[in-house]
């Protein structure tokens, strides 16, 4: 099949390509006055001629992409993919990236970083995930960032602590956007509640818990499609409205947790240390065992989907040195890990409990408390 306006016989290439690469090659080709089909053709030819392995590209979420190649080139390209151990989609992504690298415009273009995504994770309950999620989100909002704080735990502790009603079963929620997107009538932004007060300036939005999420793992087990990517699919349209998305995860190692961890992976072109997992732990022995289970889940996810998910750091929660040797020695063990590093020690003090009792954000209720300063310390550490 020949393309219109071509000087040689061409055939249609139909594949998939990450959105960032689709946009980049279209823009770069336009800047240089080159037809898109010729840019892709040159990239594929250069890829086939390249004799050393090329870096793998994150193709998660790649969407349909089509153009025209000279007859026979696409078949030859696909034959080359197998001995190189890459899929057709990965090979095409590498070819486009290679062409972009070889056709720099000479201008210094600012790199557009994706929204920062922080997943608070630990399948052990009672380790301070909710307090940490809320406090970090408040610190970012106080610092001038636009923040979406997601209550991903169907128990809804975060929503309750901030005096936000959870979404009843059967009502539209994040679960609807994950499993039945075609039925969604509201946007994620419509579903989120704005935390009032001058301290946050309308920048802190909270997506409430949904009672339907108790059945989310069962729904994901029957979902027809890439279940690990459903949270990213649900949130993708909202990302442009926020600088930071913080997820308060459930105490689980199930499919819903896989989707949250996948969402926190490092995306193609994203800076190291920008997104990933923050793990609240306690200074006691059972917390170390739970951490080991979470690490196994993270490692399995990275191996299964060929991705990088960074452990941004640990926060030792509810620490009280008066509990004696177990507490102090456990803290030293956490610090001795080295990687991931301990971002902060959040002491067991009254202000957090009082803020929960009066259903107010900690940084609004007790902005000068030691715990509030700890939350600010955490976002500084994450930026370093």
Residues 309-321 have pLDDT tens digits of: 999 999 988 776 7
Q: For 79-83, 138-142, 253-257, which range has the lowest pLDDT when averaged over its residues?
A: 253-257
Residue 336: band (very low, low, confident or very high) from pLDDT cuts 50, 70, 90? confident
pLDDT at 106: 64
Is the pLDDT reported for residue 327 higher than 80?
no
Q: Quick one: which of 150, 242, 249, 138 has its CA closest to 196?
A: 138
Lowest mean pLDDT segment, chosen from 46-50, 288-292, 340-344: 288-292
- pLDDT (0 to 100) of residue 315: 92
Domain 116-383: which topology? Rossmann fold (3.40.50)
Burial 121-157 (b: 16+ CB within 10 A, else e): bbbbeebbbbbbbbbbbbbbbbeebbbbbbbbbbbbb
SS3 89: helix
pLDDT in the model for residue 151: 94
- The predicted pLDDT at position 381 comes to 92
* Sequence-distant (≥ 6) Cβ neighbours of residue 255 within 8 angstroms: 216, 217, 220, 221, 227, 228
Confidence check: pLDDT of 162 > 70: yes
Distance in angstroms (rounded) separating the CA atoms of residues 231 and 174 = 8
**Which pLDDT score is estimated for 282?**
81
* Beta sheet of 116-120, edge-to-edge order: 193-194, 204-207, 147-151, 244-248, 116-120, 276-281, 311-319, 342-347
Model confidence at 110, in pLDDT bands (50, 70, 90)?
A: low
**How does residue 267 score in pLDDT terms, banded at 50, 70 and 90?**
confident
- The model's pTM: 0.71
How high is the pLDDT of residue 1?
A: 35
pLDDT at residue 4, rounded to an integer: 38
Q: How confident is the model at residue 329 (pLDDT cuts 50, 70, 90)?
A: confident
Mean pLDDT of the chain: 87
pLDDT at 6: 44
Spatial contact of 250 and 197, defined as CB atoms under 8 Å apart = no
Give 215 or 5, the one with higher predicted confidence. 215
Tell me how far apart the alpha carbons of residues 74 and 83 are, in angstroms, rounded to a whole number: 16
282-306 residue pLDDT tens:
877 777 888 889 999 999 988 988 8
The secondary structure element, H or E, covering residue 331 is: helix 325-336
Looking at residue 83, its pLDDT comes to 92
| pLDDT score of 8 more than 80 | no
Give the confidence band of 208 by pLDDT, cuts at 50, 70, 90. Answer: very high
pLDDT band at 39 (very low <50, low <70, confident <90, very high): very high
pLDDT number for residue 339:
85
229, two tokens = 């990517």
Q: For a pLDDT cut of 90, what percent of the chain falls above it?
A: 50
Rounded Cα–Cα distance for residues 129 and 280 (Å):
6
The residue to which tokens 């932004």 are assigned: 189
pLDDT-derived band at 160 (thresholds 50, 70, 90) equals very high
Least confident residue range of 28-37, 109-118, 144-153, 290-299:
109-118
pLDDT over 70, % of the chain: 95
**CB-side exposure of 375: number of CA atoms within 13 Å?**
28
Q: What is the pLDDT of residue 309?
A: 93
At residue 62, the pLDDT reads: 76
Q: What is the pLDDT of residue 125?
A: 79
pLDDT reported for residue 7: 52
What is the mean pLDDT of the segment spanning 39-53? 93
Token readout for 127 is: 């380790």
Over range 105-112, report the average pLDDT: 59
């Amino acid at each position: 099949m020949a393309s219109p306006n071509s000087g040689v016989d061409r055939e249609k290439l139909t594949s998939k390509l990450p959105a960032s690469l689709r946009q980049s090659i279209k823009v770069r080709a336009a800047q240089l006055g080159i037809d898109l089909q010729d840019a892709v053709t040159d990239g594929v030819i250069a890829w086939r001629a390249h004799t050393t392995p090329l870096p793998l590209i994150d193709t998660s979420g790649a969407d349909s992409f089509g153009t025209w190649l000279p007859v026979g080139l696409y078949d030859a390209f696909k034959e080359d993919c197998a001995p190189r151990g890459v899929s057709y989609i990965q090979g095409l992504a590498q070819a486009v990236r290679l062409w972009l690298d070889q056709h720099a415009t000479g201008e210094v273009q600012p790199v557009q970083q994706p929204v920062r995504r922080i997943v608070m994770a630990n399948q052990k309950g009672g380790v301070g995930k909710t307090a940490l999620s809320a406090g970090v989100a408040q610190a970012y909002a106080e610092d001038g960032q636009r923040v979406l704080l997601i209550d991903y735990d169907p128990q809804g502790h975060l929503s309750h602590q901030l005096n936000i009603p959870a979404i009843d079963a059967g009502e539209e929620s994040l679960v609807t956007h994950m499993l039945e997107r075609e039925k969604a009538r509201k946007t994620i932004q419509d579903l989120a509640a704005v935390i009032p007060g001058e301290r946050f300036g309308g920048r802190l939005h909270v997506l409430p818990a949904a009672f339907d999420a108790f059945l989310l793992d069962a729904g994901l087990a029957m979902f027809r499609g890439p279940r690990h990517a459903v949270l990213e699919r649900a949130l993708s349209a909202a990302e442009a409205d926020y600088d930071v998305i913080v997820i308060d995860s459930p105490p689980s190692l199930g499919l819903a947790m896989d989707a949250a961890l996948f969402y926190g992976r490092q995306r193609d072109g994203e800076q190291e240390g920008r997104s990933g997992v923050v793990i609240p732990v306690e200074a006691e022995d059972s917390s170390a065992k739970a951490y080991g289970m979470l690490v196994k889940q993270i490692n399995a996810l990275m191996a299964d989907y060929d991705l990088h998910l960074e452990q941004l750091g640990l926060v030792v929660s509810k620490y009280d040195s008066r509990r004696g040797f177990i507490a102090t020695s456990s803290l030293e063990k956490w610090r001795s890990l080295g990687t991931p590093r301990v971002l902060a020690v959040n002491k067991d003090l009254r202000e957090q409990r009082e803020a929960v009792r009066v259903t107010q954000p900690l940084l609004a209720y007790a902005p000068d408390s030691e715990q509030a300063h700890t939350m600010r310390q955490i976002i500084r550490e994450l930026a370093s």
